[in-house]
Amino acid sequence: MSTAPVYSVTQVNQYIKGLLDGDSALSGLFVRGEISNYKAYPSGHHYFSLKDGEGAIRCVMFRREAMSLRFRPENGKKVVAFGRVTVFPRDGQYQLYCSALSPDGMGDLHAAFEQLKEKLYQEGLFDQAHKKKIPRFPERIALITSSAGAAVRDMIRILGARWPMAEVLVLPVRVQGAEAPGELCAAIAWANRHQAADLIITGRGGGSMEDLWAFNDENVARAIYASRIPVISAVGHEPDVTISDFVADLRAATPSNAAELAVPDQNEQYAALDQLSRRLGRAVSRRLDGARFLLERARRCRTLQDPMSYVDDRRVLLDYQREKLAHGLRGTLGRERERFARRAATLDAISPLKVLGRGYAIPRNEDGHVVRSIREAHPGDKLELRMADGSIDCKVL
């Protein structure tokens, strides 16, 4: 009887690993499922499971592949993972080594866009309260875009035609590729640090979502939000919408539209000035006509023709007022004299001296009090009799 070989655990795991690695069907396959037990380690590796109604498979995505993710994996999110199935010999568990991961039913760029949009919205970066006012007549405009694209030429042409008084400064940057977000952020920061402009226009011409992705970068969005200089976002064509459009102080449908929104049309301003000039001329004419009328009326005025006539009129009026006042005073004095005479006559008629003049006398005792009754006098009292022309001392007997 032959003895069966005995294998170590490692040998068995390595054997199974070899079988799985040699199966072309397992070396590159797509797996649809729902994420669970998701965890991202500080090392940058992502570990999770994909499950459906009846089973689950362990998955790992190493940092190198995870760096290319355009969205944030979350528990419960349905995804499609691409990778290879193999065994990790140390624990004998087979798992899916993911090299790509995208949301089920939508592209990863769109998912990343929606996630960042929701995040920045919750932080308040889109609030109208934070929007800065676009200057009406900017003196300097900074164009942060590619110097080689048609967009910058269109903007320079339109700005020059509409408002040639503005100075245009081009800050050339890449608007596509991995280096584009960093250059956009640096250009915005430089313009603010040196106060290089009154207004910033940043954007590019049209393209696919991948081409426009630099303007969906979180760092670019935060740089626009932090800019002290007002920013107009002009990315792609009218249907294209990027995160920069939501954060910017003003969104333009196209770069050409951004140039139109940035400055007024000089022809319209000239027309407005011309209209104001005509209105001012009419207003001045009306004022002059009114002044001429007043001047003509003043010229015909007798006082201005003969200034002494005014003085003569006032002299006549003064004489009239003087005579009127004197007449009034004479009348008043006459009436007061009559009233005085009447009151004097009345006082004279009731005066005690009048009574004394008719032979009457007023007796007073030694205390000077008037004796009004015989009961107030006694024999031997000394009295003073007041007469009309003097007094007599007497004694009661």
CB 167 within 8 Å of CB 140: yes
For residue 319, what pLDDT is reported?
85
Query: What integer pLDDT is reported at residue 19 of this predicted model?
Result: 76
**Cβ contacts of residue 223 below 8 Å, gap of 6+?**
184, 185, 188, 189
- How far, in Å, CA of 153 to CA of 187, rounded? 19
Q: What DSSP string describes 11-33?
A: HHHHHHHHHHHH-GGGSSEEEEE
130: amino acid identity, one letter: H
Burial state string for 10-36 with b = 16 or more CB within 10 A and e = fewer than 16? eeebeeebeebeeeeebeeeebebbbe
47 Cβ contact list (under 8 Å, min separation 6): 37, 38, 39, 40, 41, 58, 59, 60, 61
Closest CA to 151 of 216, 215, 198: 215
Rounded Cα–Cα distance for residues 147 and 153 (Å):
8
- CA distances from residue 27 to 24, 95, 114, 381, 390 in whole angstroms, order as listed: 5, 12, 32, 166, 164
Do 255 and 232 form a contact (C-beta atoms < 8 A)? no
Distance CA 18, CA 385 (A): 170
Strands 231-235 and 250-252: parallel
Q: Which residues of 224-242 are buried (b: 16+ CB within 10 A; e: fewer)?
A: bbebebbbbbbbbeeebbb
- CATH level 3 topology of 113-264: Rossmann fold (3.40.50)
Residue type, 96: L
Q: Write the CB contacts of 77 (distance below 8 Å, at least 6 apart in sequence).
A: 34, 35, 103
| Predicted confidence (pLDDT) per residue in 259-309, tens digit | 999 999 999 999 999 999 999 999 999 999 999 998 888 878 776 777 777
Q: Which two tokens stand for residue 119?
A: 């995040």
Fold match between domain 9-105 and domain 113-264: no
CATH architecture of structural domain 9-105: Beta Barrel (2.40)
Report pLDDT for 105: 66
Which portions of the chain are predicted below pLDDT 70? Answer: 1-2, 21, 105-108, 303, 353, 355-357
Triad 221, 227, 231: Cα angle to 5°? 75
| Domain spans, the chain | 9-105, 113-264, 305-345, 355-395
The β-bridge relationship of strands 93-103 and 140-145 is unpaired
